[in-house]
Structure 1
Amino acid sequence: MDTILLLHGWPQTSHIWRHVIPALSTQYHLLAPDLPGLGTSPFATQYDTGHIAQLIKDYLDAEQVQQCHIVGHDIGGWVAVAFALQFESSCLSLTVMDAGIPGLMPLQMFQPGNAGKVWQFYFHAVADIPEILVIGKEEEYLNWYFSHKSYVKGTIDNEVYYKAYKGKERLAAGFNYYRAFNTSAEQNKAQLRKLKIPVMAVGGEYAVGENMRAVAKELSEAGRTVVIPDCGHYIPEEQPVAVVSLLREFLE
């Protein structure tokens, strides 16, 4: 039975896969850890995706998993790409969902007209200020994302996430992924090549959408791009049935 490694994004935890795991568990061995520093996972010493990818490799080694299909959403997609570039022989396939990958993001995503989608890349990268402004308002802050970046309302388990990010240490760990963005980008650029494994890039119609095509093109000669209709950024929660169907078809 093949293993699928599911990596969540910010500001969420492995809870995002709760509808996907039961449907795939009859065919696959599923692993869904919280990313280092997030949820219930131990904090990391650094948060560039090269380092985080090595921690994920250590986790897989501890689980005695030699190869897996790797699926990443949002910053989990950042880590998934870094992992595939560093440890391609450990990957059976790569699926990236609605993520602006460091070093691979199309420049047009940073145009002023797109500020509503990318402003957090700058804000979270600033030292200390995000924590000062967000501590005590974790619920309100995270709910802004879930409200503004989702299309299918009422599908996101908000309370689980703002409790997971409550307090300075957990907030800082999440922001540290963004603070390491430029380092992660340089690492990806240095290792960038066409992967030999199957690659699929998935976007929500009302989120990154067709811009995911650039990720597939950079990473594969035959990379597949899929846009899930009636969907915002939080694909595994907004359209879990579509995600399960798409993964089954792609992985088989």
Structure 2
Amino acid sequence: MTASISEIPATERTVHHRGFDLAVHEYGDPDAETVILVHGWPDTHHLWNGVIPLLAGRFHVVAYDTRGHGASTRTARVADFRLAELAADFYAVADAVSPDRPVHVLAHDWGSVQVWEAVCEPQATDRIASFTSVSGPNLDHLAAWVRARLRGPGPRSIWQPFTQLLSSAYTGFFMTPGLPRLAFGLLATEQRWRRFIQLMNDTAPSTIFFAPTLKQDMVNGLLIYRANILAHMLKPRERTTDVPVQLIVAGRDIAVRPAGYDDSGQWVSRLWRRDVPAGHWMPFSHPELLATATTELVDAVENGVLTAGGEEQTPVGEPRKQPRRLRVAE
């Protein structure tokens, strides 16, 4: 039986970077390969409480609170939440916990978005061995996908961007100065947020983990939307990477529609994709799947072949214009 997070020995450290103190939590053998877990909004490292015990027996597992969340330094400056700053924080944590070896990464939501920024940096292949992305796109890739679809013929070219616009409509509200912060400050409670996640993911309350700072994280973390959405969607950059990337695509994701990832192979030389009939918060609803998928990609980097469910997939190192796609049963 898998141990609970409370039974896994943990050590804590603080990584100081550009005026921010980042609260870092480490599990497992520090001499083993390192897997860094990066959360999104409005979560903290507690997002990974169900995943960490599944990885800590083999890996050096590191989870940290990103700036503005949990026990890390808070800020009211929009500029402090720009992806370039968040990616630099990630590299600071990686350098602190694994200075001599590249790290593997599993990231969710805005955590995935900021790691996408990191894996497209020039130093990425030296410091990042693999990246498993869950429910968080590269914003520049998503913007390019929208533009490409709108230029295409037929109703599908309009329908796909339109459905993504509907799914992303909440971000317009989140970017409104003052109002969303007031709304979350007055109305958001742990009970209501837990119920919302249960409805979106069809998962048990006992598998959902929050930090005591949830309400603060909801309010403070909203600045990440204002700092990044318009800047990247209106002026997308050409961002490519040779880091092996695995997309875990949630078919019932309320934020990013599965079609939004369809062009990822244009920018990623080594790419795999798993489509899962799940909602947005898979770290809560599918911890075993995420732990297994991450481990399989680590093994692929080591052995040169990705094996998923006993099936040999495209060898790592063979670029594909279209990723190998797996459909995962619920």
When the two structures are superposed, what TM-score results if normalisation uses the length of structure 1? 0.85
Cα distance 1:63–1:248, how it changes in 2: closer, same or farther (>3 A)? closer
Do residues 3 (structure 1) and 34 (structure 2) align? yes
Q: CA deviation at 1:148?
A: 4.4
Structure 2 counterpart of 1:165, from 210, 214, 219: 214
Do 1:53 and 1:82's aligned partners in 2 also have CA atoms closer than 8 Å?
yes
Cα distance 1:3–1:55, how it changes in 2: closer, same or farther (>3 A)? same
SS at match of 1:95: strand
Do residues 18 (structure 1) and 69 (structure 2) align? no
Aligned equivalent of 2:227: 180
- Deviations, residues 105-161 of structure 1 (Å, cap 9, x unaligned): 24366525762x322211111111111122132216634641443233535526x25
Aligned equivalent of 1:96: 133
Mapping of 1:195-210 within 5 angstroms?
A: 195-207=241-253, 208=256, 210=258
Cα distance 1:237–1:60, how it changes in 2: closer, same or farther (>3 A)? same
SS at match of 1:136: helix
Q: Return the structure number with greater relative CO, CA threshold 8 A, min gap 6.
A: 1
Cα distance 1:71–1:152, how it changes in 2: closer, same or farther (>3 A)? same
SS at match of 2:247: strand
Structure 2 counterpart of 1:43, from 71, 74, 79: 74
Do residues 130 (structure 1) and 165 (structure 2) align? no
Do residues 232 (structure 1) and 279 (structure 2) align? yes
- Deviations, residues 37-62 of structure 1 (Å, cap 9, x unaligned): 11111125510111111122222223
Partner Cα separation in structure 2 for residue 62 and residue 183 of structure 1: 32
Cα distance 1:31–1:146, how it changes in 2: closer, same or farther (>3 A)? same
- Deviations, residues 149-198 of structure 1 (Å, cap 9, x unaligned): 3233535526x25x42324xx434211111112366279943502x2221
Cα distance 1:145–1:180, how it changes in 2: closer, same or farther (>3 A)? farther
Do 2:175 and 2:226's aligned partners in 1 also have CA atoms closer than 8 Å?
yes
Q: CA deviation at 1:214?
A: 3.1
- Deviations, residues 76-109 of structure 1 (Å, cap 9, x unaligned): 0111101111241211011110124322224366
Larger Rg: 2
Amino acid at match of 2:91: K
SS at match of 1:11: coil
The structure with the greater share of residues assigned to helix is 1
Do 1:96 and 1:201's aligned partners in 2 also have CA atoms closer than 8 Å?
yes
Amino acid at match of 2:173: F
Amino acid at match of 1:211: A
- The aligned length equals 245
Unaligned stretches of 5+ in structure 1?
Answer: none
Aligned equivalent of 1:70: 105
Partner Cα separation in structure 1 for residue 297 and residue 177 of structure 2: 40
Do residues 54 (structure 1) and 88 (structure 2) align? yes
Do residues 120 (structure 1) and 170 (structure 2) align? yes
State the percentage of identical aligned residues: 18
The structure with the greater share of residues assigned to strand is 2
Partner Cα separation in structure 1 for residue 298 and residue 115 of structure 2: 16
Amino acid at match of 1:78: V
Cα distance 1:2–1:64, how it changes in 2: closer, same or farther (>3 A)? closer
Partner Cα separation in structure 1 for residue 270 and residue 73 of structure 2: 37
Aligned Cα root-mean-square deviation (Å): 2.7
Unaligned stretches of 5+ in structure 2?
Answer: 1-31, 147-158, 300-330
My pick for the range that moved more, 204-213 or 179-188, is 179-188
Partner Cα separation in structure 1 for residue 239 and residue 271 of structure 2: 14
